[in-house]
């Protein structure tokens, strides 16, 4: 135990010294990795992503498992990858979901990149390794599976946004905006009751099975989740809760500080500017979002990422920008996750307890020697 | 030994006085996080709560000094971007907003007046320039376009004359009318020879985006659905364009058909524009999205 306590101090020291985060490691690429490298510079359809999830499990059976946690309207599985070093106790968690809006293809691409990156670096990067020990990453590469598949159908469906549930009550359009359907000030602002509208919030909160699936999972895990990241495009922004203009998160200052730190980390990669703020401040007000729901049930660090670009390509971001976008977003996500992790695992309480025990033990040893 | 123990206990407590690992933000841009009008003071107990603190605040009027990160400045700055493209854009010159430095807004009679300091970037040459701009959004019932004045330094440095001239000559007397579809395609890809037509579509769209803009819109061109070259008339290259505009605040994809002309001397002109109706009842309609 004394060794354990001593090592806490050593790890603290090494944390202060260490600055690398593994995102830009220039590893020597083997032939296998080269193929993988090309893989992560292309967009992939749903069946490719499903096959890829199986491959991640196969290649990393000790750390990767999958969970089907819901069904879409069209009865497809909603699947997440659970990634972490196994432990006997209950672990803290990080939640990340991508592709809640179908046309934002760079988002699922980022989820895939993120998984690839933590699997690539956890054995060699001490920080990633530590976080893999203490945390489980729950990553949903595509949440709006129906919508994503529809956006791959042909050029004319490429810019689909919502789910694919049919309208009701005589309204003949399709789809609910999943990011307006959560039980978080549902229906209050930034929504429409017209099922043809792109902000249609559904007949009621959680009318959509996709939103229900996330809500169900988060409800089961809520005490354990340290950070909630939901990935979108475009606009180059990091949004903090809440989407309602008159409601502030109790830790707003902390969220802004961490967000600004993440934006700084992003900018250090490829000099891209990401704006940080609440949605009512920097974008537009809206309620019923997954991010708001995450914050409301008590997840302290809840962020929406709006990835590249700022409008030149918009949703149709060229594939040669996938890699740099993912690299910078990884740096931003890593910043937030590290903060969330360190806040729990290097807290004041832990430090004082460790110090107390060390000194008590030292006192006991010295008194034993004196006697 | 008692005193020793006490000192040993007290000293570490004093050293580790700060409760949480703080994140240094260093020299990031000031975004007024300290002055957030809706913020609730952070309680001493940094434990998170599930409680929502309702802060009843008067609606923040976007008058006076604007926060450069906030949406009013960004939307107005994008209008300036559209304006600059209508004035200076070409198949080899396409301008985008890079950064908002500062701005202010005020009510002037029935109208809303903005003043902005911006960095704009010409996206083909990557040359940036500083711009000062003034906009007037008309108030009242009429749907008239905003009025913009802008002066920029250094933005138009790139010499596009040779490329424009070559492009003009290549297509002017052409017996092969050029056309294209889905620029960029679903993967963000386009053939290199389509790029100038993409730029031209973006510049032509700027006329519409400028005209349609107000304080509640943020327009970008999402895609050139298709374009077809028509016979050259009066020394102007002529094209039919079908463009998809993305309006961010409604998230709508809006279809426009444009009759576009261009020459190096006359610049880009939009002779006709026609809004295409949105198809509500179609399940998988061609060229429309719901």
> How many Cβ atoms from other residues are within 10 Å of residue A359's Cβ?
19
A350–chain B Cβ distance below 8 A for any pair: no
Supply the mean pLDDT for chain A: 91
Contact A343 B21 (CB under 8 A): yes
Per residue of chain B (290 residues), what is the pLDDT tens digit?
455 544 444 444 444 433 333 223 333 333 333 333 333 333 333 333 333 333 333 334 588 999 999 999 999 999 999 999 999 999 999 999 999 999 999 999 889 999 999 999 999 999 999 999 999 999 876 678 999 999 999 999 889 999 999 999 999 987 889 999 999 999 999 999 999 999 999 999 999 999 999 999 999 999 999 999 999 999 999 999 999 999 999 999 999 999 999 999 999 999 999 999 986 544 443 333 33
Q: Do A316 and B38 touch (CB under 8 A)?
A: no
Torsion of CA B252, B255, B259, B265, to 10 degrees: 30
* 3 state SS of A33: helix
Interface residue A339 vs chain B (CB under 8 A): yes
> CA of A177: how far to CAs of A169, A275, B98, B260, in Å?
17, 24, 30, 35
In angstroms, what CA-CA distances link A148 with A111, B76, B91? 14, 33, 33
Return the DSSP state at A323: H
Comparing CB atoms, the residue among A156, A174, A256 nearest residue B286 is A156
Return the residue of A nearest to B71 by Cα.
Answer: A282
Residue count of chain B? 290
pLDDT of A197 strictly over 80: yes
Cα of B224 vs its chain's centroid, Å: 17
Per DSSP (E only), the strands in A183-236 are: 225-233
pLDDT for residue A272 is more than 70: yes
- Structure-token pair, residue A197: 């509208």
Chain B residues in contact with A263 (beta carbon < 8 A): 28
Note whether B51 contacts A: Cβ–Cβ < 8 A.
Answer: yes
CB contact under 8 A, A314 and B222: yes
Instruction: Tell me the count of A-B CB pairs closer than 8 A.
Output: 210
**Strand locations in B123-279, DSSP E?**
128-137, 147-153, 179-183, 219-233, 236-247, 252-263, 267-275
CA distance A69 to B280: 33
Separation of alpha carbons B156 and B164, rounded Å = 14
**Complex-level ipTM beyond the 0.90 threshold:** no
Residue A91 near chain B (CB below 8 Å): no
**C-alpha distance from residue B7 to each of A6, A351, A359, B11, B14 (Å):** 19, 17, 10, 6, 11
Q: Does B1 touch chain A (CB under 8 A)?
A: yes
Q: Is the Cα torsion angle B225, B228, B229, B231 positive or negative in sign? A: negative
State yes or no: pLDDT of A26 exceeds 50.
Answer: no
Q: Specify the pLDDT at position B40.
A: 32
Q: For A43-72, what is each residue's pLDDT tens digit?
A: 999 999 999 999 999 999 999 999 999 999
**Residue from the list B97, B246, B281 with its beta carbon closest to the beta carbon of A314:** B246
Unique residue bearing structure tokens 């005193």:
B3
| CA-based end-to-end distance of chain A | 24
Taking contacts as CB-CB distances below 8 angstroms, the residues of chain A near B184 are 313, 316, 318
**Which residues from B are below 8 Å from A283, CB to CB?**
71, 248
With b for 16 or more beta-carbon neighbours within 10 A and e for fewer, the A160-173 pattern comes to: bbbbbbebeeeeeb
Chain B: closest CA distance from residue A263 (Å): 9
Q: Which two tokens stand for residue A23?
A: 């995102």
| A11 vs B: CB within 8 A | no
Q: Tell me the C-alpha distance between A49 and A109, whole Å.
A: 9
Convert the pLDDT of each residue in A247-262 to its tens digit.
999 999 999 999 999 9
> How many CB atoms neighbour CB A145 within 10 A?
27
Rounded to whole angstroms, the Cα distance separating A127 from A18 reads: 9
Of B18, B28, B280, the CB nearest to A196: B280
Which of B 198-217 lie inside 8 A of A, CB atoms?
Answer: none
Q: In which residue are the tokens 């579509």 written? A: B201
Partner residue facing B50 (CB), from A254, A263, A298: A298
Q: Where are the beta strands (DSSP E) in A134-274?
A: 135-140, 225-233, 237-240, 247-248
Between residues 232 and 271 of chain A, which touch chain B (CB distance below 8 Å)?
A: 235, 242, 245-248, 250-254, 256-258, 260-261, 263-264
CA-CA distance, B170 to B148, in Å (whole number)?
34
Residue A61 distance to chain B (closest CA, Å): 32
Indicate yes or no: CB of B31 within 8 angstroms of CB of A346. no
* Residue A351 to chain B, least CA–CA distance (Å): 8
What's the rounded Cα separation, in Å, for the pair A127 and A284?
Answer: 36
- Would you say how long chain A is, in residues? 371
Per-window interface: B 80-109 vs A, CB < 8 A: 96-97, 99
- CB B12 to CB A175 under 8 A? no
- Beta strands at A92-98 and A225-233: parallel, antiparallel or unpaired: parallel
Strand (E) or helix (H) holding A331: helix A322-345
Nearest to A246 among B28, B57, B290 (CB): B57
d(CA B273, CA B269): 11
Decide if B16 touches A, using CB distance below 8 A. yes
Determine contact, residues B106/B113, Cβ cutoff 8 Å.
Answer: yes
In eight-state DSSP terms, residue A174 is B
Q: Which position has the token pair 């998170």?
A: B48
The span from the CA of B77 to the CA of B140, in Å, is 22
Q: At what angle do helices A322-345 and A106-121 cross, to 10 degrees?
A: 60
Cβ of residue B7 closer than 8 Å to a chain A Cβ: no
Chain B residue numbers touching A366 (CB-CB < 8 A): 1
Q: Do B71 and A276 touch (CB under 8 A)?
A: no
d(CA B93, CA B202): 10
- Whether residue A247 and residue B285 make contact (CB cut-off 8 A), yes or no, is no
Looking at residue A87, what is its pLDDT?
87
User: Does A353 lie at the interface with B, CB-CB under 8 angstroms?
Assistant: no
The token duo for B23 is: 């994140």
Q: Would you please indicate which residues of A are annotated as catalytic (active-site) residues? A: 306
User: What is the structure's pLDDT at B142?
Assistant: 65
Q: How far apart are the first and last CA of chain B?
A: 78
């Amino acid at each position: 135990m004394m060794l354990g306590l001593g090592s806490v101090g050593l790890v603290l020291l090494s944390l202060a010294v260490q600055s690398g985060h593994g995102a830009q490691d220039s590893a020597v690429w083997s032939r296998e990795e080269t193929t993988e490298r090309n893989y992560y510079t292309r967009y992939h359809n749903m069946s490719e992503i499903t096959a890829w999830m199986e491959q991640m499990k196969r290649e990393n059976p000790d750390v990767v498992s999958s969970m089907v946690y819901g069904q879409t309207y069209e009865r497809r599985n909603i699947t997440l990858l659970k990634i972490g070093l196994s432990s006997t106790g209950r672990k803290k968690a990080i939640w990340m979901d991508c592709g809640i809006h179908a046309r934002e293809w760079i988002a699922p691409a980022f989820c895939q990149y993120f998984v690839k990156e933590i699997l690539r670096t956890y054995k060699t990067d001490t920080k990633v390794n530590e976080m893999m020990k203490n945390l489980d990453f729950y990553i949903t590469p595509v949440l709006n599976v129906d919508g994503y598949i529809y956006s791959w159908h042909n050029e004319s469906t490429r810019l689909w946004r919502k789910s694919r549930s049919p309208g009701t009550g005589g309204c003949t359009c399709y789809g609910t905006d999943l990011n307006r359907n959560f039980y978080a000030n549902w229906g209050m602002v930034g929504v429409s009751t017209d099922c043809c509208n792109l902000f249609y919030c559904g007949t009621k909160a959680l009318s959509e099975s996709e939103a229900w699936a996330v809500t169900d999972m988060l409800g089961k895990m809520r005490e354990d989740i340290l950070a909630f990241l939901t990935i979108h495009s475009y606009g180059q922004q990091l949004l903090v809760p809440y989407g309602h203009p008159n409601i502030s998160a109790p830790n707003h200052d902390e969220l802004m500080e961490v967000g600004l730190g993440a934006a700084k980390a992003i900018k250090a990669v490829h000099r891209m500017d990401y704006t940080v703020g609440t949605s009512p401040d920097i974008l537009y007000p809206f309620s019923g979002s997954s991010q708001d729901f995450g914050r409301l049930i008590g997840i302290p660090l809840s962020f929406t990422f709006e990835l590249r670009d700022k409008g030149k390509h918009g949703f149709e971001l060229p594939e040669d920008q996938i890699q740099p976008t993912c690299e910078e977003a990884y740096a931003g996500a890593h910043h937030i996750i590290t903060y969330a992790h360190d806040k729990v695992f290097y807290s004041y309480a832990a430090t004082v307890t460790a110090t107390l025990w060390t000194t008590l033990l030292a006192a006991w040893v010295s008194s034993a020697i004196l006697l | 030994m008692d005193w020793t123990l006490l000192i040993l206990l007290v000293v570490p407590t004093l050293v580790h006085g700060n409760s949480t690992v703080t994140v240094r933000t260093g020299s990031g841009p000031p975004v007024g996080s300290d002055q957030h009008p809706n913020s609730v003071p952070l309680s001493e107990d940094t434990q998170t709560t599930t409680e929502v603190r309702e802060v009843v605040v008067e609606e923040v009027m976007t008058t006076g000094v604007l926060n450069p990160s906030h949406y009013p400045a960004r939307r107005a700055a994008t209008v300036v971007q559209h304006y600059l493209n209508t004035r200076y854009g070409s198949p080899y010159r396409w301008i985008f907003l890079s950064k908002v430095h500062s701005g202010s807004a005020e009510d002037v009679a029935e109208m809303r007046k903005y003043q902005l300091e911006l960095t704009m970037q010409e996206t083909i040459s990557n040359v940036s320039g500083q711009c000062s701009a003034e906009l007037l959004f008309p108030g009242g019932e009429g749907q008239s376009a905003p009025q913009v004045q802008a002066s920029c330094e250094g933005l138009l440095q790139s010499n596009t004359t040779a490329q424009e001239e070559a492009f003009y000559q290549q297509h002017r007397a052409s017996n092969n009318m050029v056309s294209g579809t889905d620029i960029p395609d679903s993967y963000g890809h386009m053939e290199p020879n389509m790029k100038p037509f993409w730029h031209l579509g973006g510049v032509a769209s700027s006329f519409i985006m400028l005209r349609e803009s107000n304080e509640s819109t943020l327009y970008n061109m999402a895609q050139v659905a298709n374009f077809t070259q028509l016979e050259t008339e009066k020394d102007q290259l002529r094209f039919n364009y079908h463009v998809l505009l993305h309006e961010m605040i409604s998230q709508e994809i809006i279809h426009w058909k444009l009759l576009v002309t261009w020459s190096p001397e006359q610049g880009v002109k939009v002779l006709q524009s026609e809004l295409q109706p949105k198809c509500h009842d179609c399940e998988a309609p061609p060229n429309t999205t719901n």
